[in-house]
Amino acid sequence: MESFLSRYKNPLVLLAVLLVQVIGLAVQVRRPSPQAGNAPGVRLIQYWALAVVTPPERAVHFIGSEVSGLWNNYVDLVGTKRRNRELLMEVDRLRLEQAGLAEDARQVQRLQALLGFQQQYIYKTVAAQVIGASESDQSHLLVLNKGSAYGLKQDDAVITPQGIVGRLREVYPHTSLLLEISDETSGAGVLLQNARLQGVLRGNAYGQPEIVGMLPDARIQPGQVVVTSGGDQIFPRGLPVGTVERVAADPDHPPLVNVLIHPAVNLEAVEEVLVITSTGSQMPATENQDIAQSELDQEQQRAADILAEQLPSKIDPEAPPEELFTSTVKGFTVTSPLLPLNPPQPDHPDQFTPGATPPATDMTPGALNGPIREGTENMPAPKPAANNAGTATANAQGQTAATGPGGAAATAGKSGAVKSAGNAKTGGTKLGLRTARQAAVRRKHPAATPRGGQ
Amino acid sequence: MALMASTRREVDIPSYPVWLMVLVPFAALALQSLISLHFPRFDYIDLPLLVTIYFGITWRHPVGGTIFGAGIGILQDAVTQHPLGVFGIGKSVVGYLAASMGIRVDTESFFTRLLLIPFFTLLQSAIVWVLEHRMIEQPYAWLWVHEGIRAAANAVLGLMLFALLDKARRRD
């Protein structure tokens, strides 16, 4: 070893001198970032350090995610279908809820437009994975696997579906440093949702987010929801931050208090995040489409509810849609629900039985085409009169008899049905009743002569 | 071979008065800044580089040449817009190589100096270009004509400066 050092003393000294100067350069030089705007670039030494550290982290993360994906996507699929069904039902339910809130949102937009407020909507997000973390308790930094090559910029807000996580502190081409809201150097404008009190959120020395420098207020209660206020121009308004855990006196400023927040996101187990790369004052097109779809679904749901209320029968909501049977009758296309193969048969045929009525083309105008019931079928039959030779009497079952205008009578059979060949305008039943009445009158007054009864 | 060390004079270690060792680098830096201020074309000349080359080839001590080059280079960075270390790295390498060559090559020869000065000038420009262009990512154009003129101008002035400094050194 000693001989090595003595032999290569000169080159080693040169390397040492060069290394010291290169490190000195890296400390003072900031690499300009085109996406950073006026913000100072990244120190070269940070860039190099991340370039050295992130490849192994990226490799380990890649292997882990691949193995995990293989297991989750191809092996561990127990309950996936059930979960999918539940999620689809949840999506439907949420769409209906969204439609219910859409009108309120539009009203708020109109009012905000009137008042000149600017609402920030999330236009575009980039999903990123956490591949590393800071190794210090005092620094709450996470390393993301995406950078400026994916459109990420310094100070972009980082969220999860549960709430905000932090903002991008440094952005490199393929890596980013995420500063969590629990860091002491972080800052975010927040709002207590119910109390409507605004404040500044930052991390304390123990790594817990807190709203600093607030005036004591009885409305600040544990459990109260805290959302972003949008005042920091980084986080859009209304994103969940967490809930109030407790209120502690500010030791540096005695009248003021600090509100300790239980973050909505578990900051110690963040794996995947969404980086908000674009916001705007108009509701994005996709969101509008979702609301329109939800409103359509709600209308359909209402129509289905109304139909279900009007129909007494039970409607199976999961039954397949009714199939339509299309047939062509003499040039007209008739669409009707598909007839059952074995329809229930009636106990006895009647005039409503299909096929009992002859087709209209076979009917003769003025002809009686079927038995007509008047409800007098069960009445007692009148006794036959001897002097009423030209009169047909009711049969033994008490059913109607009819007399023709010309005095020719035709007695009906056991069924009592009478077919009259004349006087098509006058119904046979009326004639029968009249004849029976006349027969009764003749029994009382034999001298009376019935009209037309020669 | 004419360039190989074969005479007693080449293995002698020349010494310089301390005041001269301190004064010459600062004088080179001051003159470089002062003259360039009044004569913009003087920026073709790099007096600190010439001083580094001279002390390297005459001192013949690579470690000393490296540290001397690093020191004068960092001072030169301090008076320019460069981050500290750009000229420092370049002159460290030049000082090391000049001292290494001083051991093996007859650096007292006029022709040797006429070749070494343009070579080291181009070498330093190349190192600075690499650092500026690849490491700091600052725009730095490499113009062959410009570099050629710079090398020639430094060679001419260097020969005169080296002759002047030769007169100031002590021989044991």
Q: Domain locations in chain A? A: 48-77+118-283, 377-454
Cα distance between residue B95 and residue B64, in whole Å: 8
Identify whether the C-beta of residue B17 lies closer than 8 Å to the C-beta of residue B170.
yes
Closest CA to A425 of A365, A360, A377: A365
Cα distance between residue A163 and residue A228, in whole Å: 9
User: Which tokens hold the place of B163?
Assistant: 């002759």
Cα distance between residue B100 and residue B59, in whole Å: 10
Inter-chain residue contact A14 with B96, CB threshold 8 Å = yes
**Alpha-carbon gap: A172 to the closest alpha carbon of chain B (Å):** 14
Residues of B with CB under 8 A from a CB of A: 62-63, 66-67, 70, 74, 83-86, 88-89, 92-93, 96, 100, 131, 135-137
Residue with token string 């100096």: B113
A45 touches chain B (CB under 8 A): no
**Average predicted confidence (pLDDT) for chain A:** 73
What is the predicted pLDDT for the residue at A411? 40
**Among B62, B63, B89, whose Cβ lies nearest the Cβ of A21?**
B89
A14 touches chain B (CB under 8 A): yes
What is residue A245's three-state secondary structure?
strand
Cα distance between residue A220 and residue A215, in whole Å: 10
Cα distance between residue A388 and residue A414, in whole Å: 21
Q: What angle do CA A355, A360, A364 make, to 5 degrees?
A: 115
User: In this predicted model, which residue has the larger pLDDT, B163 or A354?
Assistant: B163
**What is the complex's ipTM, to 2 decimals?**
0.80
The DSSP H or E segment spanning A28 is helix A9-28
CATH superfamily of A48-77+118-283: Rod shape-determining protein MreC, domain 1 (2.40.10.340)
**E strands within A42-185?**
42-43, 121-133, 141-144, 157-160, 163-171, 176-180
Inter-chain residue contact B89 with A28, CB threshold 8 Å = no
| Cβ neighbours of A14 in B, within 8 Å | 62, 66, 92-93, 96
Tens digits of per-residue pLDDT, A28-49? 877 665 554 555 667 777 777 7
Q: Where are the domains of chain B?
A: 15-166
Alpha helices in B39-109 (DSSP H): 47-59, 62-78, 86-104
Given a cut of 60, is residue A251 above it in pLDDT?
yes
Of A107-116, A246-255, A347-356, A385-394, the range with the lowest mean pLDDT is A385-394
| Phi and psi at residue A450, to the nearest 5° | -70, 145
What is residue A315's three-state secondary structure?
coil
What is the predicted pLDDT for the residue at A417? 38
Q: Where on the phi/psi map is residue B52: left (φ > 0), alpha (ψ -120 to 50), or beta?
A: alpha
The DSSP H or E segment spanning B84 is none
**Among A21, A22, A32, whose Cβ lies nearest the Cβ of B137?**
A32
Inter-chain residue contact A13 with B131, CB threshold 8 Å = no
Q: Which residues contact A292 (CB under 8 A, 6 or more apart)?
A: none
**Among A10, A21, A31, whose Cβ lies nearest the Cβ of B85?**
A21
Stretches in chain B below the pLDDT threshold 70? 1-14, 81, 170-172
Rounded to whole angstroms, the maximal C-alpha distance in chain A is 165
| Cβ neighbours of B82 in A, within 8 Å | none
- Which CATH number does B15-166 carry? 1.10.1760
Identify whether the C-beta of residue B69 lies closer than 8 Å to the C-beta of residue B95.
yes
**Alpha-carbon gap: A144 to the closest alpha carbon of chain B (Å):** 24
What is residue A188's three-state secondary structure?
strand
**Among B62, B83, B100, whose Cβ lies nearest the Cβ of A29?**
B83
Cα distance between residue A432 and residue A439, in whole Å: 10
Please give the DSSP secondary-structure letter assigned to residue B156: H
